[in-house]
Structure formats: C-alpha cells, structure tokens
Structure 1
Amino acid sequence: MDIVVGALSGMVDALPGKLGELLEQEYALLAGVRDDVRFLQTELGSMRAAIRHCESLDHHDAQTTGWVGKVREVAYDIEDWVDLFAVRVDGGAPPATGVRAWFRRVWDKFTALPARHTIAGELQGLKERVLEISDQRKRYSLGGMVGTPAQAPLDPRLSALFVDTNSLVGFGEKVEDVSRLVMDAGRTELKIVSIVGMAGSGKTTLANAVYRRLQAQTQDNFNCSAFVSIGPKLDMVSKTVRNMLSQFGDRHRGGQDINQLITSVREILTNKRYLIVVDDLWSSEQWATIKCCFPENGLGSRIITTTRNGALPTDGYSCPSKFVHEISPLSDTDAKQLFLKKAFSNGNVCPPHLEDVFNQVMRRCCGLPLAVVTVAAKLAHKHSRDEWEKLGLNLLYSSHSDGSDGLKQILNLSFNDLQPHLRTCLLYLSIFPENSEVDTERLVRRWIAEGFIAEGRNISAQETALGYLNELIVRNLVQPLDLNHDDAPRRCRVHPVIHDFIVCKSMEENFATLMDSQHVPNNGTTVRRLSLKNSSKKHQPAARNESTDLSHARSITVFGHASAAPSLNDLKVVRVLDLEGCDGPVCLDGLCKLVLLRYLSLKGTDASELPPAIGDLRCLETLDVRFTKVKELPPSIVRLEKLMHLLAGSAKLPGGIAEMKALQTLSCGGTTKGSVKFIEGISKQDKLRELELYFDATETHEKRVKFPACGFRSVKKLCIQCSSPSVTFEPNALPAIQVLELRFQKGLADQSSGVSGIEHLSSLKHVLLEFEKHDAGAMATVDAVRNSAQRVLPDQYITIKVDGNLRGATNTLQSIE
C-alpha cells in the first residue's frame, strides 16, 4: 500500500506555530481555553514526529493509513478554528492600543461572550478528537511500526537494462546524438554528459543503448567501464561504489567504508581511460560523494549520468566539459509504432472498432515511452472496447491497488522524493483539468491564499512560491510554457500521465474532490477543495448540486457554466473562489459573508457588478475582475487592508486607492482627464511591483499620461493600453522597471511619436510595442520607441508588433501573447 501522507506533514508542521501566535495575541480567552490551545500545540508537535516516520516508510498497513487520515482531518479543522477565531471575536480588526484599547477589550468581553462560549465548545470537541487519535496511536503502536512488507516489489527500472537495443523504437536518432556528444573525438579532458527527463521518458534505456554502442565500437579505447544505478535513497551510494568495483573485477573490498571504497576506485582509474554510466541520480548529496571516484587524468575519460532533476547534472564538478541532453518524448509516429508492436501480434494493425479509443490512448500517453509500453502490455490480446476504455483511458486508476504496477511505482519515486511543501504544490495542480495551461500568477496567488507558502525574512511569499514552481519544473514534474524575458514561465502544465497520477494521489489523501456537476461523490469524505467541471454546452445552464456538504471546503473552482457553482451561503471557511472563464450569469449572493476569503477571481465571466459591501472581506488578498462587465468598483474596496493584487482591468477605481498600502499589483482603467492626479497619487506606493493601466486617450498632447520623476520606485513591470500613444516618462521615473509593454490601437494623426522618455528608464530589460493598426502615425511611434530604447537596451530585447506582424526581435516572440 502506498504512503498516503503527502501534503499532510507540511500542514501539521505549521499548526503548532499558528497556535503559538494565537497565544501571543491579547485576546480575552475564556478560562481553560488558553490551556486547551497549549495542549493542542504540544500534542500536534508529538504527532508531527509520527507523521515524519510514516513518510519515511515505503509501505504501511490499513491501520496506519486510517490514523493518518484522522490526523489530516483534525488538522484541517484546527486550522479552520484558528483562522476563524479572530474574525468571530473582533471582526478581524487590528488590535488597538492605549486607554481606548482597554475600554474596547472590556466591551468586547461583554458583547462577544456568546461567541466565545461557542468557540470554547468547538475547541473542546477538537481536543477530544486529538485525545482519541493520540490514544489510538498508543494502543496500536502506530508511530513505531516498521511497515516494510515481506517482499518489496521489483524495481521496474531493471527491465531497461536488458532491452535488446536493436528492438528499440524511436531511439535511433537519440542514441546517435548522445554517442556523438559523449565521444567528440580528439578531446582528452574528462567529459560529463547528463541525460535529463521526466519519469518514464527512457533515460535509462537511452543511456544503456549508448553504453553498449560505445563498448562495441571502441572497446580497445576504454580501459575500464561500468554501468551503475543509484536510486533515491542516500544510503545506496556505498552499494553503488561496490558495484562499480565489482564490474572492474575487484571483488575483495566489499567490507570497506565509503572513504576506502572511493580510494580504491580512484586507484584503479587514475591511469586508465574510463567510461562510467551513473544511472538514476537523485540528489546533490549523492553526486557530491560519487563524483569523488572519478579522477581528471587527461586521458579522454567519459561519464554519463541520468536524472529526473535538471539542476543536478553538473552540480559542483570542476570539469570544464559538462553537457546536458534533454530527452524528448516519442513522436506520434514512433509512439503508435511502439504501442502496436507491444499490443498486437501482427505488430502494425489496430482493429477498426478500436481505432478511436486507440487515438485517445495515444493522446493520454503523450509520447511517454513507459506509459506507451505499460498501457500496451495491459491491453495486449484484449479486443473488447469496454476493456480498452477501462484500462487504457484510466490506467493509474485501474492500477490503484496493484503495487507492482511499474508506471505508478516509478511516479511514486518522484513524488516521495519531494519535500512536503512541494508535494502540496504539485497535488494542487490536480484541481485543473487535464492538459490545462495554467497561468503562473494565478497558480502562485492561489498557493499563497491556501497558506502553502511561508514568507521568509528577506524573501516575499511570491518569490518563494516561484521558487517552488521552478523546483517542480527542474524535477521534470511540471512543464514550463511561454517563457518570459527572464526565462520564467507565464504558464505551465503537467503531462497527462502525471496529471492522472496526482489526481489519484489527491483522491487518496482527500486533498481535493474532483467531480462533474451531474455526479456526486458518495464516499462520505469531507470536501476540503472542490474542483467542479460541468459538461453543459456553452451558454446553457448546468444543474447545481445542492446535496454535497461544502461547509468545510477551503477552495471552490468551477470550469464550464457558472450556474453549476454552489451557493455561496453554504461556504463557511472558503479561502479561494475561482470562477475564471465560466459562462453564463454569476450569482454573488452571500459573497460578503465569506470572512476567510483570500482569493476571488471572476476573470472572463459575465459578472457585471460587485456587492457594495465587498469591503467586509478583510482577508481578501487577490481580486480579479478583468475581462468582465464590471465598469466600476465599489468604494468599500479601499477598506481591504490586506489586498495585494487588485486586477480591475478596464474598470474604474474609487478614490482612496493610493491609501491601500499592501498593493503589489494594480490593473485598472481611467481617463486621461484625471490621469495626472491618479498617477501622482499611486506613484508613491512602496510595495507596488506591477502596474497595468487602461486609458482612453485623445490625440491632444494636453492630455498626456506622465510618469513623474522618482515615482513608482518599486515597479518592475508597466503595461499601458491606450487608444493612441500619449505617454511621457520624466527623468528618474520608474528606477526599477524591467519590463515595459505599450499597446495602442492606432498612431497619432499628426504622425508624431506620442511616446517620449524611454531612454530615461535605465533598468529596462525588455520592451514591447504593439499596434492594432498599421498607419503612418504608428510607424512614427515605432521608429521613435526603437531609437529611444536602443540607448538602454540591446536590439534583441525590443519587440515590435504591428497589425499582428512581428517587426522586432525574433527571440522574444514566444513570450508575447
């Protein structure tokens, strides 16, 4: 049975700290409540150690699985209790000080007494549940279980070492390329070539094919050769080095410690030209140890490594010749050929009645060799369409109870190697439909709203979250899309096979509930995160499911028709409400009662207005109403003291926005008539990092948009969308700006540029200028902007698009939508 801990330990790690913060506040806790909070803090710390032990096990029994599930549920409820506490006691208002604060605390004790009794009663219930869980662990000694099965499943990677290289499909060119990269005749320095790719992509198969080829073609040139595999466990390094010695013909040094083993290998290799393959490298600690075996003797030695982690291949090695080969998926033709070869005795013909299912299976495998081979093996000699749909389209679901399934076992290795916070972030992508291209900012802001990201002392939560995403990318678990000027992805997605895997994991851990509006889950579990995909046709209402209890739901995400969204009155602890891209009317009744709501996206919906009392959502951090029918935001918006990302699109803002000190991202509309005052008002915002402005400019120069000197000192990205160019940057304006995007409909009638002062933006790294129409005024602006930008930027970082056609740098085209 697979470990079902995943994201749990990260949450249990954080809870004692949250309870400690609660104790430090000056809240008037009823007698006994403070002691109960301390008890939970202590007991959860003890549970944390048991959870860590469960994570270290490869397998465990049903009792331990059930205990972990109970810890997970009570941890969720304790966190909900803590987050609701301040809101229910004092409305989430910041603590007051002085004499007035003393009178207020006295008054609060009196007026909030009923709520405090309710809170105390809930806490007692949580304490009783924790005591029951703790007693269960002691009764069954769950924390001390060894948990190792009598016979561990075979390592599915072993088969790749014994494949007949002549029978490989789609690897001929790859073997040729890597062999040529490894040999590079005439070079005598030590060379390292690392094959990098996601789980199941054929890294071991490719490395083995190259190894055999080089042995056969140049056997007289290499004095020593070895092919060794490591695996994810750090203690495998000693065994790996002993295996290497054995392949060198030295079988008499097995009892030595790692230092002696490395010395023995170096003695053997010092005066020899060697070829070594280090397969399945997982960590920098492993590589730091095993690389010590390989002397740089100037004899043209070669090392090949394989790894799922793109950051590891050449980490910490002084060798100047280090190369990475990123293994690509099989082409559609090769994937189909491999499948047919494995699934049918005739090797190349699919029965006509299975052709459409066959094509669906191929799309799900998406060129991943292990997926193709695994599915083909399961479907071999099966001719029933029902069997193909069951086994081929639901591969990982059908293998849920089969611990020997190679594909799931290999994906489990990658998942279990992640730290708890990365497991949580990866599982979160199961909420989005298969093959979804998820906007990076949307994902990161949702992670933060869910509480997955801790803000460091010298690093923001946003930067930390982007670091987590990058870690998942370099481990080949997430695919980056649409790279920015700094190679950061604007969007990302996961491979269909990995998506299936994390959906399975998410369901096992009750991390998220994925359902269709027509199908209600009946497993009796508490819904914590709901991903609702309805199959109604566009512009047709979907039936709303009223029977599912969502009182414990932390996030609601709807794909399809907005009418399938649950009633907001049923959501008591929701942090994330995401209706982005939904069709049809949006009902916001009850929105202002979602006191814990941190992320609200109505982007791309038919929403036409926000409730006047939206300012009551004191926890709100992100509000996105871009591409909606909302024309103006309610004045109460300015009361949202925690709002960091206000994405209003072309909607107008009320007065007082300049006083919202937490803003980091602002997207809003306005007119040039009031632009000067508005720009000056927000120019002193200390935390503002991204600014997007929509203006309806005229061709008169008296109504220009001016960015003042020394204003917007923290803004790194500025986007302006305007009917025609009327923008001026004064000297010393926007001192930190790195990205400038200017989008206009048409040029000025007098053929003047309309844009001036770009040469003052000394920190620029990328400029985009885009016109919808090609006219003389537009071309005058193009020439002026290019000439000004060239004073601070190399030409390749200036992108010009007119009437949909690129007229600037080609290497930045991919980053422009």
Structure 2
Amino acid sequence: MDIVVGALSGMVDALPGKLGELLEQEYALLSGVRGDVVFLQAELGSMRAAIHHCVSLDHPDTQTRAWIGRVRELAHDIEDWVDLFAIRVDAGAGASSSGFFGFFRRGMDKLRTLPARHDIANELQDLKKRIVELSEQRNRYSCVLPVPEAALPMDPRLTALFIDPGSLVGLEGPVEELSKIVMDTDGRTDLKIVSIVGMAGAGKTTLANAFYRRLEVQNGFHCRAFVSVGQKPDLVRILTDIFSQLGDRHRGGQDINQVIDSIRNLLKDKRYLIVVDDLWSKEHWGTIRCCFPENNHGSRIITTTRNDTLPMDSYPVSRKIVHKIDCLSDADAKKLFLKKAFANEHPCPQHLEAVFAQIMRRCSGLPLAVVNIASKLAHKQLRDEWEKIGLNSLCSPHSDGSDGLKQILNLSYHDLSPHLRTCLLYLSIFPENFEVDMERLVRRWIAEGFIAETRSVSTEETARNYLNELISRNLVEPLHLNHDGVPSSCRVHPLIHNFIVCKSIEENFATLMDAQQQHVPDSSTVRRLSLRDSSKQDQPAVRNESTDLSHARSITVFGHANAAPQLTHLKVLRVLDLEGCHGPVCLDGLCKLVLLRYLSLRGSDTSELPATIGDLRCLETLDVSSTKVKELPPSIVRLEKLMYLLAGSAKVPDGIANMKALQTLSCGGSTKSSVNFIEEISKHDNLRELELYSDATETPGNKKRVRFPAHGLRNVKKLCIRCPSPLVIFEPNALPTVQVLELRFQKGLADGSSGMSGMENLSNLKHLLLEFEQNDAGAMATVNAVRNAPQGVLPDHQSITIKVDRKSY
C-alpha cells in the first residue's frame, strides 16, 4: 500500500504557525499551559521535517505508514483544540472595558471560564503526552530501508513503446490527425513544437510512438530520436541517449554541457525529429530544450505530458501547438476490451453483459483502464470475479503495487504538492460522475482551511489557482465554460475518482457511507462524512445514530435529508452541506456548531432558519438559495466573518450593509424597498458580486424602477439582476468596475418600450447576458436597445449573449 501524506503534510506545516498565533493572543492561560503550547510548537516543527522525508519515499515500510497514521490523528486533534480554544476561553467580553468595572468584569470572566480552562489544560497535557510518545517511537524506528531496485515494479508505460501497430484500436484517426499537424509546413521552415497532452492512461505515448514509427515519418527527416524522461530523470543519460540515436556515439567523460554542445553541433544543419516522452518538469525541459537549435530546416519536436502548460510556457519558439488527446469512443473502447479479454474479439457472454456495461461506464474510454481491466479478466467467466476485479480495480485486494493502472495514477498523484493532493482528495466526497459547482468547491476548500492566506492574493483567488492547476494536469475535467473560458463546474473521470476514493480511505481523509449502512466501515475516527442515499425517494433514509461524529469536520449528504445526523454533538464541524437534499431538514442544534464556516441548504426543503443563527460567528458561507426561506433572521447581521451570503429571493434584514466582510451577496432586497436597499449597500467597499431579485414591476400609471446610483458599488465586478420587467436605470459613474452584467426578466414592458437606460455608463463592461422568458414587443425593444447601447464598450459584440424564450439571438 502506498503512503498517503498529502493532506497531513499541509496540516503539519500550518500547525506551528497556528500555535504561534495562539501565543500572541491576550488570553489568560493557566500556569504551565503557555509552556506546553511552546513545547508543542517546537515538537511539531521537528516532526514536520520527518513528514517531508516520508513524502519523498516512493515505497515506505510498514512502520513508517503506521507512524504516519498516528501523526495524522494527532495533528487533527491539535488543530481542533486550537480552533476551539478561543471559543471556550474567550474572556474578551470585558477585555475592552477600563477602570474598576473593567477589572471586575475580566475577573468574573476568568472565574466563569475556570472549569473550561482546567479542561483545556488537561487536554493539552494529553496532547503533549501523545506527541512525546510519537517522537520516541520515531526515534526507535528511524531506520528506513530502501526497497531494492529489483523489487520495484516495472514502469507499465514501457509496453507502449513496443506495441505492434496492427494491434492498436481506435488510433488510426488520431495518428492521421497528428501527422497532419506535425508534417504540415504551411510554407514555413521554422521549428515547430507539438505537445500531446491528456490525462494519465489516455494513450499519449502510444500515439507518439505510432506516429514516430510511420514509414513516411522515418523518411522525412535527416535524423530522429525518441526518449522518455519521467519524474526523476538522469539528464546526462537521457541526453547521451539522444546523441546516440541521432547517429553518433557519446564519448565518455563529457559533462552535461559538453553533451548539449555536441547535440547542437550535430543538429545545426539537419532536419530533425525529436520525441520527448513523459515530460513532467519545467526545469528538466529547460535543460533538454537547450539541445535543439532553431535551424529553419523544418525540424519538429513532439512532447507528451499530463500537464497542459508544459512545454508551452517555457519555449520561445513561435509555432507551439497543444494537441489534446481524447478518450476512445464507446465503440472502440468495447472493441479493445473484447480483444484483450476474449480471443479473436469474441462477443461478451450473455451472463456477463450487465457487469460488462458497468465496467465500460467506469473506464469511460480511457485506454489504459480498458486494457488493464480486460487483461485481468481474460479467461475468467464468473460474474463474481468480474464484479470484484472489474468494478473495484483500484481498491480490491487484486490491486497491488505492480498494478499498472494504479502505478500510472500514482505518478500523477505524487507529482502534486501537498496542498494540491489535499484538494484533489476532497473530490472523493462527491459521488462518481458528479458535476461539482466551482463556487461550491472553492468555498468548501476555504472553509476547511486548505487555502493558505497571503497578503497579495485572496484565498478565493488562490483556491481557483489550485483548481486550475489540477485541471491543467488533467486530473479534473472542466465543464460549461463561460464567456472568458472559466468553467462553472468540474468533474473527475470515474477511474481517477475510484483512485482518490481509495487514497481517501487509506488516509482516513473521508468516510464514505451509504445512508442505509448501520455502522462506519472501519473503526477509524470520522473526520469527514459523505452520506450517499441509495434509498428510494419515498423511503426516508435511516439515521446512523451509533456512529461517533464528535470529531467530524464536514458532513455532506446526497439524497434524503433524513440521512443527515443529529447536529447536537458535532462540536468541531466546519462544513455542513445539505445541497439538493429532499425531504424535511432538521436544524435542531445548528446554532451550537461554533466552528461552522460553511452552511449550504441550497435546493432543499428548508423554509426557515433558526432565529439565533447569528451565534455562528465563524460562518463564512451561507447558501439558502432555491429554498422556501422568505426572510432571513435579524441576528444574521452579527455574522462578522460572513463573506458569501446567497439568500436567493429571500429578503435580508436592515443593517446588512454593516457586514463588511461580505464579498458575494444574493438576495431579494431588504425588508425596506429595493431602492432603499441599493442605496444602503451602494457604499459597501468589499462587495464583489451582487445578485438582486428585485420586485420592480409595471403597473397602470406607475413603473417601479431599480436604480443604481452614481459612484455606487464601486468594487462590484459582477452584477446579476432578476426582475419581472426590464425597469433598470444605471446613473452616470455607477458600477465603475463592473465587468459582467446578467439581466434576466420575465417579460417586456406592455407599452413596447425598452425600460433600460444608462448602460452606456458601464465603462468597464466585458460581458453582457440578456434573457427574457417570454417573447413580446417589449422584450424585443429591450433587446435592440441593449444591442445598441454598449457599442462603445463592446464594439465587436462577441461578449453579448441574448436569449428570448430559450432561443438565442
């Protein structure tokens, strides 16, 4: 079993800093507690070095894996202790008072919290004892023996270099397409680089090799070379191999600079073809690329990589092409599977057809998965064997260190930095083939504490950068690109999902349960719980009351809301996500979740929030959109850390403008009129996105309008307005930084007029969406006005999207 320390490494890195922040606070610690905190801080600093050493091990021993498991549990408990500390001991209620009454108040607070302080001291002593035991254990078993090279599993990609071209399935078209891209000169003779990119196991090496071995390719160049790089390459050996394949023997004793000079001299007057397979690092590519001169002889370089940004980012050549490789079609995937599983492509036996269809869905056209699973099932005829091996290819006992598919995916996983491993593992919480909303994922990452804060970049921007990197590495698939190419949702390939589920289970990162299960699958502490309700909608799910969830940091329920556990004892919960749950939602005990940062009830049957929701002072995200909630409780204005308030059409209480942390707001206005509400929030400095469900309507003799005042909402980048009719006015200098404007109306004005004015004042507008549910004269009048108004802002109209009655215009 591989060691899984991605999430742990990031957590242990952060903990000494968290303990340092705790020491800086003006809390009255009991005698000895401060010294114990300092001790923990120092020990964790030393332990961090050991953790990073473990991360570097490709094949750790059993003792190391066991030690890592204990460190993981300890690190979680220390972090929970730190986060709960201020909540339980905060004597700040009177800390700001002065004089006798202030002194008296602080003294009373200390007496009142004395029992909690003793509990905290006892807990800290226990944590100290555990960390001492772990340190001693590591010292006793500090000798980590490397696995002999002969015992290491063979790289499964080697077989792709020796496949008979006649045995390939579904590659005829891709090889022909690649040939056209590579060989086409367009009348030019300069160097061209083609980078073949795709997810692990997509057949990049196979495609490059099939092209390389074509006769017309062999005859089209003066010299050729094909080398594989890998994650930990010996660059001198690789460059020597290139030199040898180009037709010259390497003379011993040369250093890497001499080898590079020799290759450049050999190629300077020749038309060459170089294939650099399995490229991982910009640094390695930066060295290798120095060998290849731009000699204007029509030379070509082909690279294969799992990272879309390599080598395009770092090579100055003007002609650089990224060639994205697709998975096999359903027909080709079935053909390849049958060819590997049954001799002479015999049809699948009738009794295996159902499980065969499930396996094909799981493989989703990924060639390596098809070949790997089919080879395991060759000569097997029992349905039980097919279900056990074919549907659990990465988690079954049959999947060991020599499993080619798992090896390939492990390479991608271990190439990630610790914080990216954590973010990738988090996707195991969602069901297979689930479309995950980007905003939902990013905000959950932030709530879990995965995103490091920096002075120059916001946590949201950092989280988006993490997600973009996972996408560029072809581990996450982007879906539904918007006007500027940013995806609104994402998905994980079924095989990668299966892989990260296995990793998540190994690390006890998340506990994945069917709602009908009566017990957690193992005895591990539950840190993150994902409940998948497999019951029918008319049959409420069974609550699992016997499971200890006192250490749970997140609860996610898919299906029936009755599957959600009781909230009473979830003292360290950070994330509660009941999005899309059907059936009654029980929120008893919600306001006792003092560490809760993310609460989503979106699309559920929730009709009312607790009056004391303002007690959740750590809350950062509250999403009750698409629910039956009509009005938010007045106490919500006490949520000083709330950044994302998504109330849908619900009204918000007065005083919402005083919530200075708000960055995204979606609501139906306040209990006052919409006009007063806009004026109230127009001076909000931190607001970046605003979605307004306005009740602006057209009545006989009166038109109630939504008016955006001059110089108001000066930092809003995105504005979405939902109104019955297009009655919107933008005054001069309103919304000076808005870049995206979405206008959604039910119908046009009865008199056939536009109803819109001032759009020409939105000087930074980059994208405009206009939508009408009904097609009428007023709607078309608004469409024409909108088309003409922003000509100075959007002269090419490429960023204007118009839909009327679901038809695009």
Category of TM-score, reference length = shorter chain? over 0.9
Q: Distance in 2 between matches of 1:94 and 1:152?
A: 63
Change (3 A) 1:481 1:749: same
Q: What SS does the corresponding residue of 2:345 show, helix, strand or coil? A: coil
| Superposed CA offset, 1:179-229 (max 9, x none) | 11111144311111110000000000000011111xx21444422211000
Change (3 A) 1:703 1:672: farther
TM-score normalised by L of structure 2:
0.97
Aligned counterpart, 2:616: 617
Q: 718-727 or 153-162, which moves further after superposition? A: 718-727
Q: What SS does the corresponding residue of 2:568 show, helix, strand or coil? A: helix
The answer (yes or no) to whether the contact 1:673–1:703 under 8 Å persists in 2 is: no
Q: Distance in 2 between matches of 1:494 and 1:92?
A: 46
Q: What SS does the corresponding residue of 1:531 show, helix, strand or coil? A: strand
Aligned counterpart, 1:509: 507
Structure 2 unaligned spans of 5+: none
The answer (yes or no) to whether the contact 1:607–1:628 under 8 Å persists in 2 is: yes
Change (3 A) 1:220 1:433: closer
User: What is the one-letter code of the residue matched to 1:665?
Assistant: T
Structure 1 unaligned spans of 5+: 808-817
Q: Distance in 1 between matches of 2:217 and 2:668?
A: 68
| Superposed CA offset, 1:639-683 (max 9, x none) | 000000011101111111010000000010138971121101111
Aligned counterpart, 2:201: 200
User: What is the one-letter code of the residue matched to 2:802?
Assistant: I
The answer (yes or no) to whether the contact 2:337–2:371 under 8 Å persists in 1 is: yes
Q: Does 1:631 align with 2:630?
A: yes
Change (3 A) 1:413 1:399: farther
| Superposed CA offset, 1:703-737 (max 9, x none) | 21100011001111111111111110001111111
Identical counterparts, % of pairs:
72
Aligned counterpart, 1:755: 756
| Deviation of 1:3 (Å) | 2.1
The answer (yes or no) to whether the contact 1:671–1:695 under 8 Å persists in 2 is: no
| Deviation of 1:2 (Å) | 1.2
Aligned counterpart, 2:15: 15
Q: Distance in 1 between matches of 2:397 and 2:732?
A: 64
Q: Distance in 1 between matches of 2:217 and 2:359?
A: 41
Aligned counterpart, 2:73: 73
| Superposed CA offset, 1:320-379 (max 9, x none) | 111110001111111111111111113041111111211111111001000010111011
Within 5 Å, give how 1:338-353 maps onto structure 2: 338-353=336-351
Change (3 A) 1:227 1:200: same
The answer (yes or no) to whether the contact 2:689–2:716 under 8 Å persists in 1 is: yes
| Superposed CA offset, 1:18-53 (max 9, x none) | 000000111101111011001111111111101111
| Deviation of 1:543 (Å) | 0.8
Aligned counterpart, 2:601: 602
Within 5 Å, give how 1:669-748 maps onto structure 2: 669-670=668-669, 674-700=673-699, 702-748=703-749
Q: How many residues align?
A: 803
Q: Distance in 1 between matches of 2:361 and 2:135?
A: 47
Q: Does 1:767 align with 2:765?
A: no
| Deviation of 1:250 (Å) | 3.6
Within 5 Å, give how 1:243-258 maps onto structure 2: 243-258=241-256
Change (3 A) 1:81 1:377: same
| Deviation of 1:244 (Å) | 1.1
| Deviation of 1:248 (Å) | 2.7
The answer (yes or no) to whether the contact 1:539–1:583 under 8 Å persists in 2 is: no
Aligned counterpart, 1:41: 41
Aligned counterpart, 2:431: 433
Change (3 A) 1:244 1:91: farther
Q: What SS does the corresponding residue of 1:395 show, helix, strand or coil? A: coil
Of 781, 797, 800, the residue aligned with 2:799 is 797
Q: Distance in 2 between matches of 1:94 and 1:68?
A: 43
| Deviation of 1:604 (Å) | 0.5
Within 5 Å, give how 1:39-438 maps onto structure 2: 39-90=39-90, 96=96, 99=99, 103-141=104-142, 145-146=145-146, 151-185=151-185, 186-213=187-214, 216-233=215-232, 235-398=233-396, 401-438=399-436
Q: Distance in 2 between matches of 1:102 and 1:41?
A: 32
Change (3 A) 1:643 1:223: same
Aligned counterpart, 2:656: 657
Within 5 Å, give how 1:467-478 maps onto structure 2: 467-478=465-476
Q: 440-449 or 772-781, which moves further after superposition? A: 772-781
Q: Distance in 2 between matches of 1:253 and 1:403?
A: 38
Q: Distance in 2 between matches of 1:93 and 1:803?
A: 56
Q: Distance in 2 between matches of 1:57 and 1:487?
A: 38
The answer (yes or no) to whether the contact 1:671–1:697 under 8 Å persists in 2 is: no
| Deviation of 1:399 (Å) | 5.3
| Deviation of 1:104 (Å) | 4.3
Change (3 A) 1:493 1:400: farther
Change (3 A) 1:91 1:324: farther
Q: Distance in 2 between matches of 1:569 and 1:254?
A: 72
| Superposed CA offset, 1:74-101 (max 9, x none) | 0000000000000011278796375576
User: What is the one-letter code of the residue matched to 1:749?
Assistant: A
The answer (yes or no) to whether the contact 1:672–1:696 under 8 Å persists in 2 is: no
Change (3 A) 1:218 1:631: closer
User: What is the one-letter code of the residue matched to 1:36?
Assistant: D
Q: Distance in 2 between matches of 1:363 and 1:615?
A: 46
Q: 348-357 or 761-770, which moves further after superposition? A: 348-357
The answer (yes or no) to whether the contact 1:437–1:493 under 8 Å persists in 2 is: yes
Q: 343-352 or 764-773, which moves further after superposition? A: 343-352
User: What is the one-letter code of the residue matched to 2:800?
Assistant: I
User: What is the one-letter code of the residue matched to 2:453?
Assistant: E
Q: What SS does the corresponding residue of 2:358 show, helix, strand or coil? A: helix
Aligned counterpart, 1:811: none
User: What is the one-letter code of the residue matched to 2:462?
Assistant: T
Q: Distance in 2 between matches of 1:92 and 1:396?
A: 52
The answer (yes or no) to whether the contact 2:279–2:303 under 8 Å persists in 1 is: yes
Q: Distance in 1 between matches of 2:251 and 2:685?
A: 64
Q: Distance in 2 between matches of 1:588 and 1:787?
A: 50
User: What is the one-letter code of the residue matched to 2:634?
Assistant: P
Change (3 A) 1:400 1:121: farther
Q: What SS does the corresponding residue of 2:770 show, helix, strand or coil? A: strand
User: What is the one-letter code of the residue matched to 1:306?
Assistant: T
Aligned counterpart, 1:491: 489
The answer (yes or no) to whether the contact 1:686–1:714 under 8 Å persists in 2 is: yes
Change (3 A) 1:138 1:147: farther
Q: Distance in 2 between matches of 1:564 and 1:389?
A: 28
User: What is the one-letter code of the residue matched to 1:752?
Assistant: S
Aligned counterpart, 1:810: none
The answer (yes or no) to whether the contact 2:36–2:128 under 8 Å persists in 1 is: yes
Change (3 A) 1:75 1:170: same
The answer (yes or no) to whether the contact 1:514–1:531 under 8 Å persists in 2 is: yes
The answer (yes or no) to whether the contact 1:737–1:764 under 8 Å persists in 2 is: yes
TM-score normalised by L of structure 1:
0.96
Q: What SS does the corresponding residue of 2:582 show, helix, strand or coil? A: coil
Aligned counterpart, 1:459: 457
| Superposed CA offset, 1:481-537 (max 9, x none) | 111222111000100000000000000000000011222224210000000011111
The answer (yes or no) to whether the contact 1:671–1:696 under 8 Å persists in 2 is: no
